[in-house]
């Protein structure tokens, strides 16, 4: 059996998106998500695309971006988990970093948390800050611990001992004993081998808490799609075989959104515009990120209230999407999001019982979403239902229907603009140096307004922007992101030994997935900080320590606006092992430029608005706003004062 078809599947809060490569022009498809059992929507889409036989013959490879781990974390629906740590520090996860949401409130009400009732057991062994043994782990301690664990009857165990990232001996013995007893165990030296007991412990607990649900879902999906090879997108922008992903739930928390960044990076290479600011606007949320030649990673991410220190794409997410609900509070002020209409009932204009106005309904009222073109005409839009929903809000605000719809759009745009400022201006980058890349089903309707808000003059709406995350999944490399803390005073020789070990481990894992050794590329970085700092910057590895320090000083000045005269510490070494797969290329556009398909008179617009079908555009064609460009998976609103040129690959290059 040989793979000839590649299917990217991105499960979102409202829609599940499909992109199929290998049959000439890419085929795209959308179905409503089934949050109670996400695999149902996936199998429905595969059947509607006519791929069931190819899947059964092993000719179809599936790459999936999943939200199962994310949703379980946000909804607090993980497994019954037991934490094991050293005696005397059993409360360290609950204590955390003592950060406060209300800085000057001396008696804040404790926030409800899964951690408040988390069972924790302590073992009487201890290692020192250099990994040396202080108190041994005795056989009697192991036996007593195993009895206590069985009394708790957990679904999963999280194991995190002090300084296990420097010496995993005690943790490994505990893990081996518990696994032999048939328990599912997440050990911190395997989940995140770096300093910071709280961050390492949180990552380990999250992995243990989410693993049973993720593993059960992936097992159901594998059984339903077998023998088709199934790969899963990880939070750092690389894919992993589903068999290995099942035990790495914490690495899947940004599985879906990471696909969009993989696609955006590829588009930046095509356009020779490596500096991109991306915003992915779907039905439930908007994800924004910054690409400065490469996908930026962070170890300071969050999912809901939980810090996630495993490497993940540096992304900021807000509750502003096409399905975001608009409401008026008791003081008469307008709010948009973060609550969403979701897939059921969805926006009022979907005709599925929704009554509250949403951003999508406001776009329908303003005429930017046309019933004849929604999802290529396959989605019926109820314009009157949208008008009724927005009218109820307009009455509460004392505004006209159009004023209320414009207010919803303006407020949603301001939320997204502020999110883009967080990942650019607040991190030392000028938005005017970047091109705004818009994707997601709703992104094209807002791209011009966001660019104007940020003083940007260039934007791009990629081909198939509404399903770009699904397409990015297919093009993403197989990848491992491996991390190891450095002992104090580690010299270049020791660091290079650790680099060799990490490279060998990454190479072996990729080879297990059938990746040829000579196709595996490797990159090495080192995490550095000024002495006394708790956060680090990732610097490319160089044998000369003076060169490493100079790169760090420059990076610190660019990120924070200053450099210090303090000593510089090297904290972690990290290795990326990756391999690109032979995915069929997408053919360029063919045909001649077609004239517009007429014009419309839209509410609030003083001049006629030209309309175009995206599939009828040809390379080199220029469109002048105001205009609407319709395609099966989204609509682009080209505002007055903007023009768009069509790239040979079909991307719309917007210029103000």
pLDDT tops 90 at residue 460: yes
Least confident interval from 185-194, 278-287, 423-432, 503-512? 278-287
Least confident interval from 90-99, 223-232, 458-467? 90-99
Confidence of residue 377 (pLDDT cuts 50, 70, 90): very low
Euclidean distance between CA atoms 536 and 485, whole angstroms? 12
Confidence of residue 502 (pLDDT cuts 50, 70, 90): very high
What value does the mean pLDDT of the chain take?
Answer: 90
Q: Which pair of structure tokens corresponds to residue 235? A: 């939070």
SS3 426: helix
For the chain, give the number of residues.
656
Confidence of residue 510 (pLDDT cuts 50, 70, 90): very high
What share of the chain has pLDDT > 90, as a percent?
A: 62
Least confident interval from 147-151, 174-178, 359-363, 377-381? 377-381
Segment 527-552 mean pLDDT: 92
pLDDT at 114: 87
Cα 280 → chain centroid:
10
Segment 448-475 mean pLDDT: 93
Beta bridge mates, 232? 64, 240
Confidence of residue 240 (pLDDT cuts 50, 70, 90): very high
Segment 421-427 mean pLDDT: 89
DSSP for 483-521, written as a single string: EEEPPTT--HHHHHHHHHHHHHHHHHHHHHTT--GGG-E
Segment 467-483 mean pLDDT: 91
SS3 track for 384-440: HHHHHHHHHHHHHHCCCHHHHHHHHHHHHHHHHHHHHHHHCHHHCCCHHHCEEEEEC
Euclidean distance between CA atoms 492 and 600, whole angstroms? 67
Higher-pLDDT residue of 542 and 428 is 542
Euclidean distance between CA atoms 208 and 196, whole angstroms? 18
pLDDT at 158: 96
Q: Can you list the domains of the chain with their CATH numbers?
A: 77-214 (3.40.50), 478-579 (no CATH), 599-655 (no CATH)
pLDDT tops 80 at residue 597: no
Are the C-beta atoms of residues 341 and 321 closer than 8 Å to each other? no
Confidence of residue 105 (pLDDT cuts 50, 70, 90): confident
pLDDT tops 90 at residue 399: yes
- Residues 6 or more apart in contact with residue 630 via CB below 8 angstroms: 370, 373, 376, 611, 612, 613, 614
Beta bridge mates, 127? 133
Confidence of residue 379 (pLDDT cuts 50, 70, 90): low
The Cβ-side half-sphere exposure at 482, using a 13 Å CA radius, reads 22
What share of the chain has pLDDT > 70, as a percent?
A: 97
pLDDT tops 50 at residue 79: yes
Are the C-beta atoms of residues 600 and 628 closer than 8 Å to each other? yes
Q: pLDDT tens, 54-75?
A: 999 989 999 999 988 888 887 8
Are the C-beta atoms of residues 180 and 142 closer than 8 Å to each other? no
Segment 315-328 mean pLDDT: 86
Q: pLDDT tens, 350-376?
A: 888 888 999 999 999 999 988 876 554
Q: pLDDT tens, 6-39?
A: 999 999 877 899 999 988 888 989 888 888 899 9
Segment 559-580 mean pLDDT: 92
Euclidean distance between CA atoms 653 and 177, whole angstroms? 59
Euclidean distance between CA atoms 329 and 406, whole angstroms? 18
Q: Which pair of structure tokens corresponds to residue 455? A: 């003083």
Q: pLDDT tens, 198-233?
A: 999 999 999 999 999 999 999 999 999 999 999 999
Q: pLDDT tens, 174-199?
A: 999 999 999 999 999 999 999 889 99
């Amino acid at each position: 059996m040989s793979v000839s078809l590649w299917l990217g599947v991105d499960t979102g809060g409202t829609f599940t998106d499909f992109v199929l490569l290998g049959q000439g022009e890419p085929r795209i498809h959308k179905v409503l998500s089934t949050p109670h059992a996400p695999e149902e929507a996936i199998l429905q889409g595969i059947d509607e695309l006519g791929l069931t036989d190819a899947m059964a013959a092993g000719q179809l490879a599936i790459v999936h971006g999943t939200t199962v781990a994310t949703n379980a974390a946000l909804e607090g629906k993980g497994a019954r988990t037991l934490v094991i740590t050293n005696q005397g520090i059993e409360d360290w996860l609950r204590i955390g970093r003592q950060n406060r949401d209300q800085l000057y409130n001396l008696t804040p009400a404790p926030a409800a948390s899964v951690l408040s009732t988390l069972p924790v057991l302590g073992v009487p062994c201890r290692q020192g800050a250099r990994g040396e043994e202080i108190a041994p782990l005795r056989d009697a301690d192991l036996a007593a611990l195993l009895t206590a664990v069985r009394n708790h009857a957990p679904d999963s165990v999280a194991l995190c001992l002090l300084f296990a990232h420097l010496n995993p001996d005690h943790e490994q013995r505990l893990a081996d004993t518990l696994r032999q007893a048939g328990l599912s165990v997440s050990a911190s030296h395997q989940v995140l081998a770096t300093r910071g007991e709280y961050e390492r412990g949180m990552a380990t607990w999250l992995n243990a808490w989410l693993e049973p649900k993720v593993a059960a879902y992936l097992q159901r999906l594998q059984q339903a799609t077998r023998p088709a090879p199934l790969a899963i997108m990880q939070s750092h922008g690389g894919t992993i075989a589903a068999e290995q992903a099942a035990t790495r739930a914490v690495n899947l928390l940004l599985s879906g959104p990471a696909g969009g960044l993989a696609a955006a990076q590829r588009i930046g290479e095509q356009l020779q515009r490596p500096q991109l600011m991306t915003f992915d606007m779907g039905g439930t949320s908007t994800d924004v990120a910054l690409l400065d030649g490469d996908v930026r990673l962070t170890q300071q991410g969050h999912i809901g209230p939980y810090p996630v220190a495993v490497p993940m794409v540096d992304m900021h997410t807000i509750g502003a999407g096409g399905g975001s609900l608009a409401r008026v509070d008791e003081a008469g002020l307008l709010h948009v999001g973060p609550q969403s209409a979701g897939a059921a009932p969805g926006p009022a204009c979907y005709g599925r019982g929704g009554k509250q106005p949403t951003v999508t309904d406001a776009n329908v009222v303003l005429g930017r979403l046309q019933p004849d073109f929604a999802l290529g005409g396959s989605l019926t839009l109820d314009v009157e239902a949208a008008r009724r929903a927005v009218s109820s809000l307009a009455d509460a605000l004392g505004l006209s229907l159009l004023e209320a719809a414009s207010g919803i759009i303006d407020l949603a745009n301001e939320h997204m603009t502020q999110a883009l400022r967080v990942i650019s201006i607040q991190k030392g980058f000028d938005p005017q140096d970047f091109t705004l890349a818009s994707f997601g089903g709703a992104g094209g309707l807002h791209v011009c307004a966001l660019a104007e808000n940020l003083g940007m003059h260039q934007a791009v709406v990629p081909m198939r922007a509404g399903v770009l995350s699904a397409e990015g999944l297919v093009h993403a490399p197989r990848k491992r992101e491996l991390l190891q803390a450095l002992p104090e005073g580690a010299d270049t020789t020791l660091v290079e030994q650790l680099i060799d070990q990490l490279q060998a481990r990454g190479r072996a894992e990729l080879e297990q997935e059938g990746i040829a050794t000579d196709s595996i590329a490797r990159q090495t970085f080192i995490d550095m900080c000024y002495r006394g700092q708790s956060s680090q910057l990732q610097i490319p590895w160089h044998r000369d320590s003076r060169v490493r320090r100079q790169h760090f000083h420059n990076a610190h000045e660019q990120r924070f606006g200053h450099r210090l005269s303090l000593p510089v510490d090297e904290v972690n070494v990290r290795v990326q092992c990756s391999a690109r797969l032979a995915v069929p290329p997408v053919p360029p556009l063919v045909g001649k430029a077609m004239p517009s398909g007429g014009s419309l008179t839209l509410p609030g617009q003083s001049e006629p608005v030209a309309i175009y079908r995206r599939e009828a555009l040809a390379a080199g064609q220029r469109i002048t706003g105001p205009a609407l460009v319709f395609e099966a998976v989204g609509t682009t609103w080209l505002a007055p004062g903007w023009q768009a040129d069509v790239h040979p690959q079909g991307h719309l290059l917007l210029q103000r």
